[in-house]
Structures are given as C-alpha cells and as structure tokens.
Structure 1
Amino acid sequence: MEGILRVGCLAGLVVMMAGCGTMIGRVSNGMSDVAYYKGVDGGLQLLGVTGKESKPAAIICYIMIVCPLITVVSLPVDAALDTVLLPVDYVNTL
C-alpha cells in the first residue's frame, strides 16, 4: 500500500510539473513575444536559450538543480499543448 501511495504521489508531481512552459508563456504579461508556440518559447527562455530579459529567470532556474531537468523533460508536453492551442493563438493574432 505504501508503494502505491509513493508512486501515486510521484505521478501527481510529474503531471503538475509537465507543461510549465505553457503556463509561463501564456500568462497575461508572459515572457513570450512570439505569436505561436508560446509554451516552448517560455521553456526555452526559462533555460536561458532565447530572450535577453529572461536571464534572471534562467539564473534562478539553474540555482534550483531540478528546474532545468523538469523544463527539458516538459518541453515535449509544452509542444503538444501548443499544437492543440494553435487555433486559439491564430484567433488572438487577428
């Protein structure tokens, strides 16, 4: 029973952490300037790959050792969510 609870908690944490770039890229004053795939861009900015103004966030992310790993692992989830949200992004660019 304890093993099932431990696996359930771990699975819950993974689900909550997945897609964090999508949340970062889509907040009202988000870090992302691009029109499409804002979640992937938010994750890349969190890693410090793109964007000049995202460097403080990248430094904080790298101080927490788990943050870059979670961001890299969640990039495919962010890409899938952004693909599903492409019609919403298209309507918002009109």
Structure 2
Amino acid sequence: MKGIFRLGFVVGLVLQLVGCGTLIGRLNDGLSDARYYRGVDGNLHLLGLRGGGSDGMPAAIICYMMIVCPVITVVSLPVDAALDTVLLPVDYVNTL
C-alpha cells in the first residue's frame, strides 16, 4: 500500500511539472507570439533560445537563477509538443 501511495505521489508531481510551457505560452500576456505550438515556443523563451526583442529576456534570467527550471523545461518539452499538437484545432480557430 505504501508503494502505491508513493507511486501515485510521484506520478502526480510529474504531471504537475510537465506541460508548464503550454500554460505559459497560452496566457493572455504570455511569452509566445507564435500562432501554433505556443507551448514549445514558451519553453524556448524560458531557455533563452528565442529572443523577444531587446527586453533582456527576464524570464530566461529568472529561469536560470533557479537551478531546476531549465531541467524541468527540457524534460517537459516533448509533453508540451504533444499537448500543442492536440490543441492545433483550437489554435487554428483562434487565428481566424
């Protein structure tokens, strides 16, 4: 019983940590200006791989100050890509 509780806790924690790029990319004032795959674009912004002009990328600076943020962002990138693929029809309707 203890093992099932631990496994459920770990799975719940992982599910809370992945997909954060999709949430960040889909905020009203989110990091992403992309029309499609906003979560992946949000992750790239968090990693500092995609610049947003001359604002100095404060999100990337804050992310790198927290040691675990880049690791979680890289690990959640495939999940964000899958979620963005599922949400492609929603993005298409929103661009009309």
Asked if these proteins are the same fold (TM beyond 0.5), I'd say yes
Q: CA RMSD in A?
A: 1.4
Counterpart of 2:32 in 1: which secondary structure? coil
Aligned residues: 94
Q: Distance in 2 between matches of 1:36 and 1:11?
A: 28
Instruction: Give the CA deviation at 1:10.
Output: 1.7
Q: Distance in 2 between matches of 1:54 and 1:71?
A: 19
Equivalent position of 1:29 in the other structure: 29
Q: Distance in 1 between matches of 2:43 and 2:56?
A: 10
Equivalent position of 1:40 in the other structure: 40
Q: Distance in 2 between matches of 1:56 and 1:31?
A: 11
Gaps of 5+ in 1: none
Equivalent position of 1:5 in the other structure: 5
Q: Distance in 2 between matches of 1:60 and 1:2?
A: 37
Counterpart of 2:36 in 1: which secondary structure? coil
Quick one: percent identity of the two aligned structures? Answer: 70
Instruction: Give the CA deviation at 1:54.
Output: 6.7
1:78 aligned to 70, 74, 80, which one? 80
Counterpart of 1:11 in 2: which secondary structure? helix
Q: 1:54 to 1:6 in 2, by over 3 A?
A: farther
Q: Distance in 2 between matches of 1:3 and 1:63?
A: 34
| TM-score computed with the length of structure 1 as normaliser | 0.91
| TM-score computed with the length of structure 2 as normaliser | 0.89
Equivalent position of 1:90 in the other structure: 92
Equivalent position of 2:67 in the other structure: 65
Q: Distance in 2 between matches of 1:51 and 1:2?
A: 46
